Chains A and B, each alone.
Chain A
Amino acid sequence: MISGAGGRLLWVYAKAHGVTGRAVAAYALVWVGVAGASRFSVSALGLQFGPKGSATLDTVAMLLMLLPAAVVSRCLVGRAASLEATRSRPRQPARLLWVSGLAVAAVASPLPVLPMLHWSIDATAFLAEWCLVLGVGLLLAALFATPVASIASFGVLAVFSTPGLVPWSANIVYNVDLKDWSAGLGGALLVAGALVGAVSDGVLAGRTALAGRPERR
């Protein structure tokens, strides 16, 4: 259990990484939006229509998932660059804990909206797809600047959302029969994203900029 002082410091650490009450509220709101979009349950791109519990998500809901993924990715970046550049506390342990905790919290965050999903949506597949989107987002955010990572994640989803571009038998984003693969790959990407995120700390993206210049530490 986290002690009072430890809890306060955890909150301080979170705030130093962009977590605010408003961001949390916006994050929750986006999830309600994802669940709301899933109510339509029509894939206008004609990807797949399925019976009860057989569908993953509609393309709109999938693309909307990019927003919470971008919000989570944004929290990888420390906002007090000058303090962090001269820290004496070892970087990686806290960083690894933060990124892992963030990933776990993010994976669990759509659980409250599961009852709001359309009846045709397979909850396991839904969570697997979220893991996939989040994993791609985290990994790319660990390697590139947040906006670049977000747009690259968008590109990945766009490829899978364009009917015919990826064979249905290989469409791990929308084909519910492949949910085990999605979950596995999503989990692997999450772990990879957390590890790379913990190690890189934005250095690869030149993000811990001080006075407009990247840190060379």
Chain B
Amino acid sequence: MITMRVPHGFIRGRIALFAGVSVLVALQGVATISERSERWVGHWPNTSATVGWAALWGSCLIAAATAWTVAAPRRGRYEHLLATSSRTRLRVYAPGLVTVLCGGLAGYLADIAYVAIRTAPEAVSGHADILEMLPLPASALAAVGTGAVCGRFVPPLLAPVVAAVVPYIAYMWVVYTDVYTDNLFFQDLLPMDDTPRDYLTVPAELLVSKTILALAVGVALLAWTLAAGRTAYGSAVVAGFALAAMFTVAGARADLPSAYAAVCTDGPPRTCVDRAHEHLADEYRRLLTSGIARLDGVDLTDVTFVQSAELLPNSAKFAGRPVPAGSGFVVVPLAEHFTMPAHSIDERAFPAYLGTGLFFAPCVAATTDGSAPPPGQRTAVLLYHWWLTVNGLPTGGGNFPGEVATAAIVADDQKVAEGVARFTAMSGAERGQWFSQHKRDILTCGTAA
């Protein structure tokens, strides 16, 4: 009996290709995704959506590896053997293509595992959304198709680098199109999505059609490369339908009413954040407690600290859950890491937000009617300047965008400067007494000096 044995070298080559692709794809994915960690760690919806970013360079690597594999016969000048083989092109190229595809999928799986491991310990609710993650593995097939086309038709030595560049150019082309047409429409073709999922969701139809589109494009390109005309035609038709379906919902984002619901804790201090930021509630409370302690024993037990002024109306409007009434609210933003929906608190900047919420916000609220400056404005500047100083923060207005530069005011206004000097010279007990006496004035921007 004649038995066919697969050569060891062949198997070793496949294992090396698989290992190389999977490791590179996994590593680049971890690097790209972790760089955006403040946007998603601890929040399942954002975590689920962020894995798509692994495809940014992952597609390039998978396409390059595919092109390298498919171009091998032309590189080694044995293409004629394949051309005259009784085997179909699919059977000839399948081992390499499947190896690269599996390597890419394994890499993406590692990326998904990575984000899950990072988020799971910190998330307080929800779970991974498989539907959000589907476009990522689907994009691997599209990348394999792209690489196969390059591997077949581009000069063999240049094929890998051309294949690596093509997915990135396709990505940027889509981005450019949206930038120049001023919308967020074509970006929905891509596996990566920058829409924060804190208060919004992406329609399931969009995610499904995006996945089908990537799969169909991949199969169509592969089939075309492998001279399987009917499959290519059929896949192109499917891709066309998926594209049409996608365009009917592209750009659509739906509100997530439950994300607006207020999640409050009893004091002291009493705090309220919305459901989307529930995972930050404990951290928020801890930082508030330690910040208030610096006010030398002032009693703020009847005050509710909220993350934004919109929390109160939004909770009632979207979630149907009004925040329990209290004697007063102080708005102290979560001080997330800069402007995007971050999922960690910037501990360094937080005291500045707290000081602004306690000392300045009441005065800002008092001047919105356009009348004369409220009587406590000078005191607010004085207190905020002192607050920044004792917390070791700069007083030049650089703690967050739009912050008042108290140093300039103190330099220009003699009375404020004298007030700061006086306040700083007080003992802790004297300051505590002063705060207790003037708490109401501080929280209403009244005359406190």
Contacts and interface: CB of A to CB of B under 8 A. Distances in A.
Given A42-B179, A59-B172, A165-B35, A147 B165 contact: no
Contacts of A63: 165, 168-169
A67 B158 contact: yes
Contacts of A162: 31-32, 35, 56-57
Contact of B35 (A40, A66, A158, A164): A164
Nearest to B187: A44
A71 B165 CA distance: 14
B29 to A, nearest CB: 11
A213 B31 CA distance: 38
B294 interface: no
A151 B160 contact: yes
Contacts of B169: 60, 63-64
Interface in B151-170: 157-162, 164-165, 168-169
Contacts of B56: 162
Given A63-B169, A67-B161, A150-B160, A40 B176 contact: yes
Interface of A: 40, 42, 44, 58-60, 63-64, 66-67, 70-71, 74, 146-147, 150-151, 153-154, 158-159, 162-165, 212
A40 to B, nearest CB: 5
B68 interface: yes
B392 to A, nearest CB: 24
B36 A164 contact: yes
A159 B28 CA distance: 9
Contacts of B32: 162, 165
23 contacts: A44-B175, A59-B168, A60-B168, A60-B169, A63-B169, A66-B161, A66-B164, A67-B158, A70-B157, A74-B158, A147-B68, A147-B159, A147-B160, A150-B158, A150-B160, A154-B64, A158-B28, A158-B57, A159-B31, A162-B31, A162-B56, A164-B36, A165-B35
B136 to A, nearest CB: 17
B60 interface: yes
B158 A44 contact: no
Contacts of B171: 44
Chain B CB count within 10 A is highest, among A71, A74, A147, A164, for A147
